[in-house]
Amino acid sequence: MIFLGIDPWYATIGFALIEKEGRDLRVIEFWVIETKPGTSFPDRLIQIAQDLRELLDIYNPTVCGIERLFFLRNVTNGIDVAQARWVIVHTIASVGISLVEFTPLQVKQGITGHGMAKKPQVQKSLQMLLKLSEIPKPDDAADALAIAYLTSLKF
């Protein structure tokens, strides 16, 4: 089975793919897709959908995990991110891929055992859990890797 993890945003979206055979996990890849500053917001959303469709066609993941949104302060950014997340969820659902959602607290708790862990702790824990030679970076890709890992544990 191939598990896709996504850390949603509209400027930089983290993606990660993990393959699971029995109990063995193998990191296929993790990266970010960036939309260009100055591009209109609708065009950014179109690019996200197109890039995601291409990714789905290439890797054909079985299940996708995505982070739920949680905003305390910047409502304007939150609305834009929510719209980008909707495009991602719609694209995933439209091709029939199952979707699992995690809150940021669940991701931190699931990877480090502590819901208030900082990003460096999550990245170091991922390095150990997945036997990576280096700490996964950038942050958005590492977050997506954490989500893909937690998704793989559910199946």
How far is residue 108's CA from residue 146's CA, in Å, rounded to a whole number? 8
Residue 10 lies in a domain: yes
CA atoms in the 13 A half-sphere facing the CB of 142: 21
Residue 135 lies in a domain: no
Q: 119-147: per-residue pLDDT in tens?
A: 999 999 999 999 999 999 999 999 999 99
Residue 115 lies in a domain: no
- Give catalytic residues, as residue numbers: 7, 67, 140
Residue 33 lies in a domain: yes
Q: Contact 5/147 with Cβ under 8 angstroms?
A: yes
Residue 112 lies in a domain: no
Q: Phi and psi of 108, rounded to 5°? A: -60, -45
The domain containing residue 62 runs over which residues? 2-104+140-153
How far is residue 3's CA from residue 15's CA, in Å, rounded to a whole number? 10
Residue 50 lies in a domain: yes
Could you list the pLDDT tens digit for every one of the 155 residues in the chain? 999 999 999 999 999 999 999 999 999 999 999 999 999 999 999 999 999 999 999 999 999 999 998 765 667 778 899 999 999 999 999 999 999 999 999 999 999 999 999 999 999 999 999 999 999 999 999 999 999 999 999 99
Residue 66 lies in a domain: yes
Q: Contact 12/32 with Cβ under 8 angstroms?
A: yes
Q: Is the pTM of this model over 0.85?
A: yes
Q: Phi and psi of 59, rounded to 5°? A: -100, -20
Domain count of the fold of the chain: 1
CATH number at residue 88: 3.30.420.10
Residue 126 lies in a domain: no
* Alpha-helix residue ranges (DSSP H) falling in the chain: 41-59, 75-94, 104-112, 119-129, 139-153
Taking the CB of residue 27, how many other CB atoms lie within 10 A of it? 17
